[in-house]
Amino acid sequence: AQSVAQPEDQVNVAEGNPLTVKCTYSVSGNPYLFWYVQYPNRGLQFLLKYITGDNLVKGSYGFEAEFNKSQTSFHLKKPSALVSDSALYFCAVRALNSNSGYALNFGKGTSLLVTP
Partner 1 sequence: DTEVTQTPKHLVMGMTNKKSLKCEQHMGHRAMYWYKQKAKKPPELMFVYSYEKLSINESVPSRFSPECPNSSLLNLHLHALQPEDSALYLCASSQDQGDTYNSPLHFGNGTRLTVT
Among candidates 107, 109, 73, which has minimal Cα distance to 89? 109
Among candidates 3, 27, 7, which has minimal Cα distance to 89? 7
| CA end-to-end span of the chain | 41
Tell me: does residue 102 bind partner 1 (CB under 8 A).
yes
**For partner 1, the closer CB: 15 or 111:** 111
Residues 52-81 that bind partner 1 (CB under 8 A): none
Tell me: does residue 22 bind partner 1 (CB under 8 A).
no
Tell me: does residue 40 bind partner 1 (CB under 8 A).
no
Tell me: does residue 1 bind partner 1 (CB under 8 A).
no
